[in-house]
Structure 1
Amino acid sequence: MNTLPQQLAAYAAYHRDWRNIATHFVGIPAIVLSSASLLSRPAWPVAGLPLSPAVLLAALLALYYLRLDRRFGLLMTLLLGLVLLAAAGMAALPDGEWLWLSVGGFVLGWVFQLVGHVWEGRKPAFVDDISGLAIGPLFIVFELLVLLGACRQLARQVKALHTPPAGQR
């Protein structure tokens, strides 16, 4: 498994246009939330808590993020927990509303993603490496933190890894 800077740099190579990154700030959360909602049904009570495919997938993602980096892993685990809470609320809605919100959010999220990649002129990262589906949410959290002035050293590492040499630009 590659390091966090390597994973982010590989993903960043597909996301250089600011418009593409901006669409991901909408598209990725919509896809993550709607997917979690769709996977929140069915849910089985285990030790008094609902266990669903969404919970199992979130646990696997949390382990993946924690293995990449402890600080980002903890932050992503917290965010996944919030997504699961929101998704459980959506899954508790009547069938029609739940499907409308979940499928609609999923489709709308992918529309945003695809428009961004049209602007970018590049296919989505997951087409070449399926791990891009897991790195996408981490990438937008990283980009948000960079915009807020955090993670400067990591941002420099990522930029150095995904900036082509002068003769190849």
Structure 2
Amino acid sequence: MLHETKMAGSFQRQLADYVEYHRDPWNCAMHVVGILLLFTGAVLPLTLLQIPMFGVEVSLAVILALPVLVYWLMLDAGIGLGILAAAVVLLSVATTIGNQVSTAMMWSIFALLIVLGVSAQVVGHKVFEERQPSMVDHPTHFLLGPMFVMAKLFIALGFRRDLAAILAPLPTNSLSTR
């Protein structure tokens, strides 16, 4: 139980740090789009590589996603389960795409998803947040983006009031000054 408390405390501290770079609602929206595109793009070519494990063919995408999924579950079980569910959907989408298109088309889709995903992140920070990405100052924040997005979704759905205060928007809406 002590381990869970330490992980939960660590997650809340990291989230509080991360949110300082993600206050603008449009930047947050760009992160939702960017993270979904980047995850799907990153796993797309890996879904084509099947490795036999315990008598079952498992894609390299699943094998490589497992450690980070376990990390997210350890940080916060509820949000981690939400991300796990989203990852299953995105891995299924990537697998379907990979199985339905030629290799050349798969690499084209991969490149497009990565370019669009990175572009969404850059536009979110440059245009809306007017601040450099948090990863520049804190490289570990690369893994917090999905947790942040899922936490925002949980709060919007009326869950996780314990995180609502951490993720609360600034008192003045930055869009009203534009």
- Fold conserved (TM > 0.5)? yes
Structure-2 residue corresponding to 1:121: 130
CA RMSD for the aligned pairs? 2.2
Q: Distance between the aligned counterparts of 1:22 and 1:158, measured in 2? A: 14
CA contact (8 A) 1:126 1:133 kept: yes
CA contact (8 A) 2:15 2:166 kept: no
Structure-1 residue corresponding to 2:67: 60
CA deviations on 1:6-28 (whole Å, 9 max, x unpaired) are: 12212111111112111112111
What is the 5 A alignment of 1:20-99?
20-46=27-53, 47-52=55-60, 54-92=61-99, 93-99=101-107
- Identity within the alignment, %: 31
5+ residue gaps in structure 1?
A: 164-169
CA deviations on 1:125-161 (whole Å, 9 max, x unpaired) are: 22222221211111111112222332222211455xx
Structure-2 residue corresponding to 1:103: 111
CA contact (8 A) 1:5 1:158 kept: no
CA deviations on 1:45-72 (whole Å, 9 max, x unpaired) are: 33222231x2122101111011111212
Residue 16 of structure 2 is aligned with which of 9, 22, 25?
9
Q: Distance between the aligned counterparts of 2:140 and 2:156, measured in 1? A: 24
Q: Distance between the aligned counterparts of 1:56 and 1:155, measured in 2? A: 33
User: How many aligned positions are there?
Assistant: 161
Instruction: Report SS of the residue matched to 1:155.
Output: helix
Structure-2 residue corresponding to 1:146: 155
Task: Return 101-110 or 3-12, whichever deviates more.
Answer: 3-12
TM-score (norm 2): 0.80
Shift of 1:97: 1.9
